[in-house]
């Protein structure tokens, strides 16, 4: 066993893949087989999800946005049934609701803080909402990542590495706020 095969076996084992002693049927050499297994496993990611105080966001395997939780006025998006915050507090989550207005978008990332939510599409579009229907932030495009914090502060980094921030900027200067955002 050479150093490349040894390293690929180590990586496969570290990822929890079960690699036997014999090549599977159809495989001719260990290195290409192991490389394919490690790369395929590395590309498979868990579906994005975000959990806030009032709403939770989930992206299914097809990239469709789904929600569970309540708006600020306690109108169920779907409800968290919580009677008390005991040590064994378990949330009774209703089935996830598809966000119909986002059906035609493939979502790759979601974030939330409280009921303030952001979603990032595969095309790099950013959508935001507090209550109601998500709306696109048209001044952001080709976005690579999104984040949100307390007091509805949000940030995004575009494909060129520029940072944009917006929201209720009580304690920080919002130098690169996208136009049209409050």
Tens of pLDDT, residues 63-80: 899 888 765 555 545 434
Residue partners of 115: CB distance under 8 A and separation at least 6: 52, 53, 54, 55, 69, 70, 71, 72, 130, 131
> For residue 152, which phi and psi values (nearest 5 degrees)?
60, 30
Q: Report which of residues 140 and 93 the model is more confident about.
A: 140
**What pLDDT, on a 0 to 100 scale, did the predictor assign at position 110?**
93
Taking the domains of the chain in order of start, what are their residue ranges? 3-43, 49-166
Distances (CA, A) of 92 to 68, 79, 164: 10, 8, 36
For residue range 7-40, what is the model confidence (pLDDT) as tens digits?
888 877 776 677 778 888 888 888 888 888 777 7
pTM (global) more than 0.75: no
- At which residue do the structure tokens 């090549």 appear? 23
Is residue 22 classed as helix, strand or coil in its secondary structure?
Answer: coil
Q: Which residues pair with 111 in a beta bridge?
A: 118
**What pLDDT, on a 0 to 100 scale, did the predictor assign at position 65?**
92
For residue range 97-152, what is the model confidence (pLDDT) as tens digits?
888 889 999 999 999 887 788 999 989 999 998 777 899 999 898 898 999 887 77
- For 118, the token pair is 């952001």
Residue partners of 23: CB distance under 8 A and separation at least 6: 29, 30, 33
* Percent of the chain's residues with pLDDT above 90: 14
């Amino acid at each position: 066993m050479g150093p490349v095969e040894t390293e690929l076996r180590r990586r496969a084992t570290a990822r929890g893949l079960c690699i036997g002693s014999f090549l599977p049927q159809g495989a001719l050499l260990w290195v290409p087989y192991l490389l394919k297994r490690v790369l395929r496993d590395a590309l498979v990611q868990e579906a994005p999800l975000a959990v806030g105080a009032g709403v939770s966001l989930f992206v299914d395997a097809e990239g469709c946005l789904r929600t569970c939780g309540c708006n600020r006025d306690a109108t169920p998006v779907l409800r968290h049934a919580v009677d008390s915050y005991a040590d064994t507090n378990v949330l009774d989550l209703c089935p996830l609701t598809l966000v119909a207005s986002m059906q035609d978008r493939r979502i790759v990332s979601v974030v939330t803080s409280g009921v303030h939510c952001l979603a990032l599409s595969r095309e790099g579009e950013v959508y935001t909402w507090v209550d109601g229907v998500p709306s696109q932030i048209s001044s952001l495009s080709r976005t690579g990542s999104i984040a949100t914090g307390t007091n509805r502060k949000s940030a995004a980094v575009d494909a060129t590495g520029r940072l944009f921030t917006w929201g209720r900027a009580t304690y920080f200067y919002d130098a690169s706020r996208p136009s049209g955002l409050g």
